[in-house]
A and B are shown apart, each in its own frame.
Chain A
Amino acid sequence: MSHMNLRVENISRSEILKYLHYAGGDIPADMEAMIARATEEVKESARAKYRYVEKAKDARELEDILLGRDIELLLASSDRVLLMAVTLGREVEMLIRRQAFSNLAYSVVLDAVASAAVESLAEDINRELEGKYAPCHLTERFSPGYGDMPMSVQGPLLRLLNADKELGIATTAGHIMVPRKSISAILGISRLPQSKRVPGCEGCRLYADCEIRKRGGSCGKPK
Chain B
Amino acid sequence: MGSQNKTVILDGAMGTMLQRSGMKPGQIPEELNIDRPGMVIDVHRKYIAAGAQVIYTCTFGANRKKLRNYVVSQVVAKAIENARLARGHQDIKIALDIGPLGEMLEPLGTLKFEEAYELFREIIEAGRGADAIVIETMTDLYEVRAAVLAARENSSLPIFVTMSFEEDGRTFAGVSLETFVNSIAGLGVAGIGINCSLGPLQMYDMVKKLVEMTDLDIVIKPNAGMPRMDGSYDLAAPDFAAGMEKIQKLGVKYVGGCCGTDEAYIRLLAERVRDQEVAPRNIRKISGVSSATRFLQSGGIRVVGERLNPTGKKRYQQALIDGDVSYIVGQAVEQVDGGADILDLNVGFPGVDEAGMLRRLVKEIQAVLDTPLQLDSTRVEALEAALRVYNGRAIVNSVNGEDDSLEGILPLVKKYHAQVIGLTLDKRGIPDTAEERLAIAEKIVRRAADYGIPKEDIYIDCLALTVSSQPEAAMETLEAIRLVKKQLGVKTVLGVSNISFGLPNREAVNQSFLTLALYEGLDLAIINPNSRPMMEAIRSYKVLRNLDGATEDFIRCYGNVEEKSVPEKTEDHTIASAVAKGLDQVVKAKVRQLLGTMDELAIVDRELVPALDQVGRDYESGRIFLPQLIKAAGAAQAGFALIRDSISQKGRDSISKGDVIVATVKGDVHDIGKNIAKVMMESYGYNVIDLGKDVEAADVVRTAKERNIRLVGLSALMTTTLDNMRETIAELKKEIPDICIMVGGAVLTEEYSREIGADYYVKDARADVEVARKVFGC
For A151, give its contact among B108, B227, B719 (CB under 8 Å). Answer: B719
Q: Is the CB of A209 within 8 A of B582?
A: no
B448 to chain A, nearest CB (A): 34
Would A25 and B622 be within 8 Å (CB), given that A101-B329, A176-B720 are in contact? Answer: yes
Q: Determine the interface band of chain A, counting residues with CB < 8 A from chain B.
A: 35 or more
Q: Is the CB of A101 within 8 A of B672?
A: no
For B625, give its contact among A20, A90, A96, A173 (CB under 8 Å). Answer: A20
Q: Is the CB of A21 within 8 A of B720?
A: no
* Chain B 322-341 per-residue mask, 1 if CB under 8 angstroms from chain A, else 0: 00001001100110010000
Q: Point out the residues of chain A lying under 8 angstroms from B746, CB to CB.
A: 206
Q: Point out the residues of chain A lying under 8 angstroms from B720, CB to CB.
A: 151, 174-176
A211 beta carbon closer than 8 Å to chain B:
yes
B242 to chain A, nearest CB (A): 26
Would A105 and B582 be within 8 Å (CB), given that A151-B720, A208-B750 are in contact? Answer: yes
B229 beta carbon closer than 8 Å to chain A:
yes
Task: Look across to chain B and name the residue whose beta carbon is closest to the beta carbon of A22.
Answer: B625
Kindly state the separation between the CA atoms of A165 and B104 in the bound complex, as whole angstroms.
12
Q: Point out the residues of chain A lying under 8 angstroms from B718, CB to CB.
A: 145, 151, 174-176
Kindly state the separation between the CA atoms of A35 and B109 in the bound complex, as whole angstroms.
28
A147 to chain B, nearest CB (A): 12
Task: Look across to chain B and name the residue whose beta carbon is closest to the beta carbon of A219.
Answer: B746
For B334, give its contact among A102, A106, A156, A176 (CB under 8 Å). Answer: A102
What count of chain B residues pass the 8 Å CB interface test? 70
Q: Is the CB of A206 within 8 A of B25?
A: no
Would A209 and B667 be within 8 Å (CB), given that A17-B625, A93-B108 are in contact? Answer: no
For A108, give its contact among B166, B337, B676 (CB under 8 Å). Answer: B676
Q: Point out the residues of chain B lying under 8 angstroms from A101, CB to CB.
A: 326, 329-330, 333, 368
B751 beta carbon closer than 8 Å to chain A:
yes
Kindly state the separation between the CA atoms of A96 and B746 in the bound complex, as whole angstroms.
19
Q: Point out the residues of chain A lying under 8 angstroms from B400, CB to CB.
A: none
Kindly state the separation between the CA atoms of A174 and B623 in the bound complex, as whole angstroms.
37
B763 beta carbon closer than 8 Å to chain A:
yes
A13 beta carbon closer than 8 Å to chain B:
no
Q: Point out the residues of chain A lying under 8 angstroms from B669, CB to CB.
A: 172, 176, 178, 180
B552 beta carbon closer than 8 Å to chain A:
no
B557 beta carbon closer than 8 Å to chain A:
no
For B634, give its contact among A31, A91, A105 (CB under 8 Å). Answer: A105
Task: Look across to chain B and name the residue whose beta carbon is closest to the beta carbon of A99.
Answer: B333
Kindly state the separation between the CA atoms of A8 and B142 in the bound complex, as whole angstroms.
28
Q: Is the CB of A98 within 8 A of B369?
A: yes
A157 beta carbon closer than 8 Å to chain B:
no
Q: Is the CB of A209 within 8 A of B748?
A: yes
A179 beta carbon closer than 8 Å to chain B:
yes
A164 beta carbon closer than 8 Å to chain B:
yes
Task: Look across to chain A and name the residue whose beta carbon is closest to the beta carbon of B582.
Answer: A105
Q: Is the CB of A60 within 8 A of B675?
A: no
Q: Is the CB of A100 within 8 A of B110?
A: no
Which of B164, B369, B627 has the most CB atoms of chain A within a 10 A radius of its CB?
Answer: B627
Q: Is the CB of A168 within 8 A of B25?
A: no
For A208, give its contact among B626, B627, B721, B749 (CB under 8 Å). Answer: B749
Q: Point out the residues of chain B lying under 8 angstroms from A178, CB to CB.
A: 104, 108-109, 669
Kindly state the separation between the CA atoms of A208 and B25 in the bound complex, as whole angstroms.
41
Kindly state the separation between the CA atoms of A3 and B370 in the bound complex, as whole angstroms.
29
Q: Point out the residues of chain A lying under 8 angstroms from B26, CB to CB.
A: 60-61, 156
Kindly state the separation between the CA atoms of A101 and B333 in the bound complex, as whole angstroms.
7
A215 beta carbon closer than 8 Å to chain B:
yes
Q: Point out the residues of chain A lying under 8 angstroms from B519, CB to CB.
A: none
B670 beta carbon closer than 8 Å to chain A:
yes
Instruction: List A143-198 residues whose CB lies under 8 Å from chain B.
Output: 145, 151, 156, 164-168, 170-176, 178-180
For A97, give its contact among B230, B367, B761 (CB under 8 Å). Answer: B367
Q: Point out the residues of chain B lying under 8 angstroms from A94, CB to CB.
A: 174, 368, 370
* Chain B 75-118 per-residue mask, 1 if CB under 8 angstroms from chain A, else 0: 00000000000000000000000001011100011110000000
Kindly state the separation between the CA atoms of A167 and B173 in the bound complex, as whole angstroms.
11
A111 beta carbon closer than 8 Å to chain B:
yes
Q: Is the CB of A174 within 8 A of B721?
A: yes
B747 beta carbon closer than 8 Å to chain A:
yes
* Chain B 342-376 per-residue mask, 1 if CB under 8 angstroms from chain A, else 0: 00000000000000000000000001111000000
A109 beta carbon closer than 8 Å to chain B:
yes
Q: Point out the residues of chain A lying under 8 angstroms from B623, CB to CB.
A: 23, 25
Q: Is the CB of A170 within 8 A of B104?
A: yes
B403 to chain A, nearest CB (A): 42
For A24, give its contact among B173, B174, B622 (CB under 8 Å). Answer: B622
B628 beta carbon closer than 8 Å to chain A:
yes
Instruction: List B645-672 residues whose CB lies under 8 Å from chain A.
Output: 667-672
Q: Point out the residues of chain B lying under 8 angstroms from A205, CB to CB.
A: 747, 749
Instruction: List B428-465 residues whose CB lies under 8 Å from chain A.
Output: none
Would A91 and B333 be within 8 Å (CB), given that A28-B628, A165-B196, A174-B667 are in contact? Answer: no
* Chain A 39-81 per-residue mask, 1 if CB under 8 angstroms from chain B, else 0: 0000000010000000000011100000000000000000000
Kindly state the separation between the CA atoms of A151 and B333 in the bound complex, as whole angstroms.
36
Q: Point out the residues of chain A lying under 8 angstroms from B724, CB to CB.
A: 174
* Chain A 189-223 per-residue mask, 1 if CB under 8 angstroms from chain B, else 0: 00000000000000001101101000100000000
B139 beta carbon closer than 8 Å to chain A:
yes
B471 beta carbon closer than 8 Å to chain A:
no
Q: Is the CB of A172 within 8 A of B750?
A: no
B563 beta carbon closer than 8 Å to chain A:
no
Kindly state the separation between the CA atoms of A134 and B104 in the bound complex, as whole angstroms.
38
Q: Point out the residues of chain B lying under 8 angstroms from A175, CB to CB.
A: 718, 720
B630 to chain A, nearest CB (A): 4
B485 beta carbon closer than 8 Å to chain A:
no
B70 beta carbon closer than 8 Å to chain A:
no
Task: Look across to chain A and name the residue whose beta carbon is closest to the beta carbon of B667.
Answer: A174
For B172, give its contact among A30, A90, A98, A108 (CB under 8 Å). Answer: A90
Q: Is the CB of A108 within 8 A of B108?
A: no
B127 to chain A, nearest CB (A): 22
Would A206 and B750 be within 8 Å (CB), given that A90-B172, A94-B370, A101-B330 are in contact? Answer: no
B271 beta carbon closer than 8 Å to chain A:
no
Would A172 and B667 be within 8 Å (CB), given that A20-B626, A104-B630 are in contact? Answer: yes
Q: Is the CB of A173 within 8 A of B672?
A: no
B699 beta carbon closer than 8 Å to chain A:
no
Q: Point out the residues of chain A lying under 8 angstroms from B197, CB to CB.
A: 165
Q: Is the CB of A108 within 8 A of B230?
A: no
A125 to chain B, nearest CB (A): 15
A6 beta carbon closer than 8 Å to chain B:
no
B409 beta carbon closer than 8 Å to chain A:
no
Kindly state the separation between the CA atoms of A7 and B679 in the bound complex, as whole angstroms.
34
Q: Is the CB of B333 within 8 A of A209?
A: no
Task: Look across to chain A and name the residue whose beta carbon is closest to the beta carbon of B99.
Answer: A165
B407 beta carbon closer than 8 Å to chain A:
no
Instruction: List B241-263 residues whose CB lies under 8 Å from chain A.
Output: none
Q: Is the CB of A100 within 8 A of B749?
A: no
Q: Is the CB of A104 within 8 A of B173?
A: no
Task: Look across to chain A and name the residue whose beta carbon is closest to the beta carbon of B635.
Answer: A105
B312 beta carbon closer than 8 Å to chain A:
no
Q: Point out the residues of chain A lying under 8 angstroms from B672, CB to CB.
A: 96, 100, 107-108, 111
B548 to chain A, nearest CB (A): 23
Q: Point out the residues of chain B lying under 8 angstroms from A24, CB to CB.
A: 622
Kindly state the separation between the CA atoms of A170 and B102 in the bound complex, as whole angstroms.
7
Kindly state the separation between the CA atoms of A167 and B627 in the bound complex, as whole angstroms.
31
A34 beta carbon closer than 8 Å to chain B:
yes
What are the 9 closest A-B residue pairs judged by CB atoms, nearest first?
A168-B172, A23-B622, A170-B104, A174-B720, A105-B630, A174-B667, A178-B104, A105-B631, A105-B627
**11 new A-B contacts at CB < 8 Å, known A25-B623, A98-B333, A108-B626:** A1-B229, A21-B622, A47-B172, A101-B326, A101-B330, A102-B333, A107-B675, A176-B668, A176-B721, A178-B108, A179-B108
